[in-house]
Amino acid sequence: MSCIKFWQLVSIYLSRNVTKYPMPQKPPQSPTEYAKRVHLVKSGNTTLRIYEGSYEKECRDETRTYCQFTAVYVQAGQRRRKTFSTLDAALDFTKDMAEKIDTNRLDIAAMDNADQQSYAFAVRALGSLGETIPLHVAVEEFVASRMLLPTGVSLVSAAQDYAERLRDVVTVKFVHEVVEEFILNREVLVSRGEASTRDLQTVRSHCRQFANVVKKRIDLATYRDVESFLLVNTDSRKTWNNKRISLTRLFSFARDRGYLPQDKRTAPQRVKPKKKGDSDVTTLSPLMLVTLLEGATDEITLWLVLAAFTGMRTSELERLEWDWIDSKRGVIRLPYIEATKQRKRSIPIQPNLCAWLERLAHLRNPSGLVFAAKAQDAVIAHVKGKGIEWVDNWARHSYGTYRATITKSVGTVALEMGNSEAMVKNHYFDQHADEEDAQTWFAIMPPDRPANVVEMREVA
């Protein structure tokens, strides 16, 4: 084959396979120009690059050209880029990154066989999770978790406890969701007569306050959440205990619905109630009661004398019905109430109270409640109008203290007040009340009035 024919065949072959064997292209720019647009940053054995470029942007009907500097580096096995508008900013960042990378390389190079085996084991352990987690990310998460745990508690034991608490949880609910569900349940019970309106108002107020503060899943709410809420949102022992009881009922409701584990105490149950002290028992003198009765309306007077001479609780006075007052037999019979667990008991009508009831007989209805809604608000306003500070349960405490002084019987006072004998002994028999004051208290009678004066009921 002649030389000319050979090269003809080669030319034909190359023309048919030009896409398979492309001819080398001319570089877009000369090596000198390329070097000017690449900045090298070194730290030890590490070299990073900054690529200088530009881009155009429309601005106010004109095209402007802006410089752009791109730092390129490798982090966690991935190639990354970060752009800057000035070379100085790019150099500062790249120098810092190069130093960090070089330092890590030195640390890795200095590892002995044991360290290398530990590193390899850690990587294999992370791989068993079935997802790509860089080793440094796993270590950062481990350190952050250990810092949240008390000294001596391992991360594994904390995770086991968390998993065990969630074992019996059927449905995940947030606190505010459970609160609204609990309130709706109480509203249904009120409509059926199985719960009181006062109880509904109480739990609605307390539980919604808690939901506004603790915004998390109810199974993650801890006793510290409850304790912190009570510390900030209560100003007395009574308020602390009342709100604690409301939250205990809320969490018990959540446990019954399967939102909390069934075999563990709830967070509010772990918070201790505040115990009563002697300072919690406040009594009034007979003279002070007489002062309160002066100038009071008939409705306020009726509230004051029933509270002072029977020792009934505020909630019992609000539910009191005329049919329960038997003046002929000298007794007030309080029935058992399922909604509030009020125990059935009888309270003797003292002679002075009988005289007050006769004086206020014009207020009596054949049936129904003795007091209108929020009647205590008018009583509190009247007391404060006298320049006297209102003290919760002062009338009940006064009755218990003076009756204990007169009867000398723990059992008698406990039955009349609906308390345990231990509570009566601790809070009323230890007050050392004066016997003369006790006798005077139950001798306070309605003032005499002219025979030609007839009391008229107010027109509604």
What's the rounded Cα separation, in Å, for the pair 106 and 374?
A: 78
Do 93 and 205 lie in a common domain?
A: no
The CA-CA-CA angle for residues 449, 452, 458, to 5°, reads: 80
Residues 294-308: what's their mean pLDDT? 93
Domain count within the chain: 3
Range from 27-41, 72-86, 123-137 carrying the lowest mean pLDDT:
27-41
369 and 238, same structural domain? Answer: no
The percent of residues above 90 in pLDDT, for the chain, comes to 27
Give the pLDDT confidence of 164-207 residue by residue, as tens digits.
666 655 678 999 999 999 999 999 998 888 888 888 999 999 99
* Of 429, 389, 380, 427, the residue nearest 406 (C-alpha): 429
Which of the listed residues 241, 275, 309 is the one where a domain comes to its end?
275
Q: Are 238 and 392 in contact (CB under 8 A)?
A: yes
Q: Which of 305, 382, 340, 395 is nearest to 190 (CA)?
A: 340
Query: Domain ends where: 88, 103, 118?
Result: 103
Which region among 9-13, 134-138, 221-225, 446-450 has the lowest average model confidence (pLDDT)?
9-13
Q: pLDDT band at 452, cuts 50/70/90?
A: very low
| Structural domain includes residue 448 | no
The domain that holds 367 is classified in CATH as 1.10.443.10
pLDDT at 368: 86
375 pLDDT more than 80: yes
| 225, 306: one domain | no
Residue 20 has pLDDT above 50, yes or no: no
Cα–Cα distance measured from residue 454 to residue 22, given in angstroms and rounded to the nearest whole number: 123
CATH code of the domain covering residue 221: 1.10.150
For residue 33, pLDDT over 70 is answered with no
Which helix (H) or strand (E) segment is 54 a member of? strand 46-58
The mean pLDDT of the chain is 81
pLDDT of residue 425: 82
- Shared domain for 259 and 284, answered yes or no, is no
Percent of the chain with pLDDT over 70: 82
Tell whether 318 and 376 lie within a shared domain.
yes
Task: Answer yes or no: pTM beyond 0.75.
Answer: no
CA distance 211 to 176: 5
β-pair partners for 67: 54
Residue range 314-339: mean pLDDT, rounded: 85
Q: With respect to residue 156, please indicate whether it lies within any of the assigned structural domains.
A: no
162 vs 297: which has the higher pLDDT? 297
Domain's final residue, options 275, 301, 325? 275
Within-domain flag for 38: yes
The domain containing residue 419 runs over which residues? 280-441
Alpha-carbon distance of 174 to 380, in angstroms, equals: 39
The verdict on 207 and 231 lying in the same domain is: yes
Residues 230, 286, single domain; the answer is: no
